[in-house]
Amino acid sequence: MNQNLSAVPIRPSEITPKDVYFSRRDFIKTAGVAAGSLALASCAPQALPDSPASENPPATDAGFTDELGDPATPYNDITNYNNFYEFSTDKEAVAPLSAGFTTSPWTVEVYGLVNKPKTYGMEDLLAKFTQEERVYRLRCVEAWSMVIPWTGFTLASLLKEVEPTSDAKYVRFETVHRPDEMKGQNSPFYVWPYQEGLRLDEALNDLTLLATGLYGEPMPKQDGAPIRLVVPWKYGFKSIKSIVKIELVREQPNTLWNTAAPNEYGFYSNVNPDVPHPRWSQATERRIGEFNRRPTLPFNGYAEQVASLYQGMDLKANY
Ligand code: MTE
């Protein structure tokens, strides 16, 4: 499995543990992972060679827990059971098929309705924005879930720097388009490249992360190296991988899933046990590694932080 990892030998420039996301005790338990990150915290990023394999991938949950006390899903499961249609629709085939994906050099263009458009190299992003560790639940629309310890920085910190204009109402994200490397992009069933979108206030919410790693390791290719979105209160498909473009726009953007099947996948896609998918219930979920199903929580358990964003909206109509 090691050879499937994109290991960028840079640690986040700074780790800011947040008690609200997990406890310091958990950090200490992750000594081999997080302490390694801290030890390198002062190193300025040098270069980003592509895909040397991780020598020591974390074996177990490494002591990470989310704020509900749920342990992190084992690293092995997070990196071998993936949705990444650019490589395959078979979740277990994504890791081997993404092994040769080129993730360096990499740039992210931030543009559109902003005062200061800018194209960032990955090195700039890692050096410039405060990296945090956050353990989030990821609830897939297919009714399985994982708990993932991400490393990343808030999308808000990046957006503040480019200064959205008052006309900007939504943020549109785009995955790299490279059909030679990503054979799934030759499939006629979807409109490529993968696109996603958030309303600007959702994008600015403190939970919304641009993730550059997990388990204290650089982002594995199969999980969206080198940089992906994580929006923990929405179904997993909103969390777009391998981002190269972030555009501030006036109108609600089209998304790959909303275009492919509008009656099944809405723009908002907030986790909602009361709104079934047309073909299955969303009331319960199976945590990867567990046998019994558990009830799905409204907004995936993050209602306190985000329910106010949707006050007055009919969340059954706006699914
Ligand atoms: N991003 C891109 N570019 N392509 C995809 O196919 N799948 C989405 C999302 N982001 C997907 C994507 C779906 S359906 C889910 S559930 C999550 O990624 C899965 O993330 P993971 O493989 O890291 O668990």
Separation of CA 192 and ligand 1 centre (Å): 14
* Ligand 1 pocket, residue 240 CB under 6 Å: yes
Paired tokens of 188? 């006629």
pLDDT of residue 63: 87
Residue with more model confidence, 34 or 310: 310
Q: Give the rounded percent of residues in the chain with a pLDDT score beyond 70.
A: 81
What pairing do the DSSP bridges indicate for beta strands 144-154 and 284-287? Answer: parallel
Q: Which residue has its alpha carbon closest to ligand 1 atom 16?
A: 236
* Ligand 1 pocket, residue 87 CB under 6 Å: no
Give the distance, in angstroms, between the CA of residue 31 and the centroid of all CA atoms in the same chain. Answer: 24
Alpha-carbon distances, residue 34 vs 10, 26, 99, 238, 314 (angstroms): 13, 10, 25, 27, 42
Please, are residues 260 and 284 in contact by the beta-carbon 8 Å criterion? no
pLDDT band at 221 (very low <50, low <70, confident <90, very high): very high
Please, are residues 224 and 84 in contact by the beta-carbon 8 Å criterion? yes
- Residue 33 phi/psi, 5-degree rounding, is -100, -65
Listed in sequence order, the residues at least 6 apart from 139 whose beta carbon sits closer than 8 Å to its beta carbon are 145, 235, 236, 271, 285, 296, 300
pLDDT of residue 41: 29
pLDDT at position 50 over 60? no
Please, are residues 113 and 248 in contact by the beta-carbon 8 Å criterion? yes
pLDDT band at 55 (very low <50, low <70, confident <90, very high): low
Give the C-alpha separation, 168 to 105, whole Å.
29
pLDDT band at 60 (very low <50, low <70, confident <90, very high): low
Reported for 177-186, long-range contacts at CB under 8 A and 24+ positions apart, including other chains, are 178/102, 181/100, 181/101, 181/102, 182/86, 182/87, 182/101, 183/87, 183/97, 184/84, 184/85, 184/86, 184/87, 184/88, 184/89, 185/86
Which of the listed residues 81, 83, 147, 219 should we mutate to test ligand 1's pocket, taking the one with most ligand atoms within 8 A of CB? 83
Separation of CA 272 and ligand 1 centre (Å): 19
Q: For the segment 267-297, what is each residue's pLDDT rounded down to a tens digit?
A: 999 999 999 999 999 999 999 999 999 999 9
* Ligand 1 pocket, residue 140 CB under 6 Å: yes
pLDDT of residue 19: 37
Q: Relative to the CA of 242, which ligand 1 atom is closest?
A: 3
What domains are defined for the chain? 5-310 (3.90.420.10)
Mean pLDDT of the chain: 86
Separation of CA 28 and ligand 1 centre (Å): 30
Separation of CA 236 and ligand 1 centre (Å): 6
